């Protein structure tokens, strides 16, 4: 008779016993982190529900948790704003071009500052990092930009923000964590500096590049002051600046309607139009939504990239 094969018994998973104190700590941890998550998410939720609720209720602060009398006329008003799409194109172009150049130059400088063959590399590195602590101010900056021909020039958005000392420090720290043997092996095979950078280092330092891309994209997208100081041609206005002007016009219109005693049909129609509060909420959603959509694509690199160099030894 053939004997049946006896399969080994699979050990049952032992349950980890937790004490009452551990359970209490776990509950407290969940409550605390849930509270902080609510604090982070609720402002965005509050802005969205106020932008789609009745304008008169939003103006009086009646919309707290749930939208009421939902409509999308505020977004129609904002999207029909003259010059909005030109400004959006300018913001997208400066964000894409500025982010790419910032990431590439930060990565290259961070790599070069680790090369012992760079002439006076410590001097150049200190000259770059000292700008993190010393700032000449707005007036000298404006005069410099004017002398360089950057007023009413699209590249005035790009060039001043390419070299960011903090980003260079992050890249330098990350490159220093990469085994030096990779570069030495490439040098033995006859690879030059640019070959090592583009073919060896760039694939390795992708996490820190993604981190810098997040920083650069947010800075470029949210930049507002450079438009105010450098640009006077409407075709070069950014989305944030155009919407800021719209907010000011809405506030002035609301004040005019509130202070007027006229009962004409025109004033009555204005009183029921979009309020300053509803426009502010709508504008905030329009400005924030694109950058929120971009962030999840870089999130998996963000923690790894920013933590490099945080722990030594």
Q: Could you tell me the sign of the dihedral formed by the alpha carbons of 38, 39, 41, 46, in that order?
A: positive
What is the arithmetic mean of pLDDT over 85-106?
90
Distance of alpha carbon 177 from alpha carbon 219, whole angstroms: 27
Q: Is residue 252 part of a domain?
A: yes
CB 175 within 8 A of CB 183: no
Domain of 250: which CATH number? 1.10.3720.10
CB 172 within 8 A of CB 267: no
Structural domain count of the chain: 1
Using the predicted structure, report yes or no on whether residue 5 has a pLDDT greater than 60. no
Using the predicted structure, report yes or no on whether residue 304 has a pLDDT greater than 70. no
Give per-residue pLDDT as tens, 135-165.
778 888 889 889 988 889 999 899 988 888 8
CB 51 within 8 A of CB 74: yes
pLDDT the model gives residue 313 = 41
Give per-residue pLDDT as tens, 38-66.
998 888 888 888 888 888 777 777 888 88
pLDDT the model gives residue 258 = 47
Q: Is residue 97 part of a domain?
A: yes
Distance of alpha carbon 115 from alpha carbon 108, whole angstroms: 11
pLDDT the model gives residue 257 = 43
Give per-residue pLDDT as tens, 238-281.
888 887 777 777 665 455 444 544 444 444 344 345 677 777 78
The pTM for the full model equals 0.73
Enclosing domain of residue 285: 82-307
Q: Is residue 293 part of a domain?
A: yes
Q: Is residue 60 part of a domain?
A: no
Distance of alpha carbon 156 from alpha carbon 175, whole angstroms: 30
How crowded is residue 183: how many other Cβ atoms within 10 Å of its Cβ?
A: 20
Q: Is residue 2 part of a domain?
A: no
Q: Is residue 27 part of a domain?
A: no
Q: Is residue 226 part of a domain?
A: yes
Whose tokens are 């359970």? That residue is 23
Q: Is residue 34 part of a domain?
A: no
How crowded is residue 97: how many other Cβ atoms within 10 Å of its Cβ?
A: 16
């Amino acid at each position: 008779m053939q004997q049946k094969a006896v399969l080994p018994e699979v050990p049952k998973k032992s349950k980890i016993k937790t004490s009452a104190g551990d359970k209490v700590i776990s509950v407290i941890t969940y409550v605390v982190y849930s509270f902080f998550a609510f604090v982070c998410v609720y402002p965005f939720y509050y802005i969205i529900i106020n932008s789609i609720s009745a304008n008169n209720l939003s103006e009086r602060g009646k919309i707290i948790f749930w939208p009421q009398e939902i409509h999308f006329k505020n977004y129609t008003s904002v999207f029909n704003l003259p010059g909005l799409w030109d400004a959006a194109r300018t913001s997208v172009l400066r964000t894409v071009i500025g982010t790419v150049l910032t990431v590439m130059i930060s990565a290259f400088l961070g790599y070069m500052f680790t090369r012992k063959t760079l002439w006076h590399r410590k001097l150049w590195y200190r000259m770059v990092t000292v700008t993190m602590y010393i700032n000449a101010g707005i007036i000298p900056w404006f005069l410099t930009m004017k002398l360089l021909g950057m007023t009413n020039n699209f590249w005035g958005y790009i060039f001043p923000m390419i070299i960011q000392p903090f980003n260079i420090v992050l890249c330098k720290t990350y490159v220093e964590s990469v085994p030096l043997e990779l570069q030495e092996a490439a040098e033995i095979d006859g690879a030059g500096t640019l070959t090592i950078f583009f073919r060896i280092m760039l694939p390795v330092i992708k996490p820190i590049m993604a981190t810098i891309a997040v920083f650069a994209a947010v800075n470029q997208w949210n930049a507002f002051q450079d438009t105010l100081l450098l640009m006077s041609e409407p075709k070069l206005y950014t989305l944030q600046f155009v919407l800021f002007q719209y907010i000011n016009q809405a506030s002035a219109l609301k004040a005019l309607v509130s202070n007027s005693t006229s009962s004409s049909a025109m004033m009555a129609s204005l009183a029921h139009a979009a309020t300053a509060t509803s426009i502010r909420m709508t504008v905030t959603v329009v400005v924030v939504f694109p950058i929120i959509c971009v962030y999840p694509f870089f999130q998996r690199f963000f923690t790894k990239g920013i933590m490099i160099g945080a722990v030594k030894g």
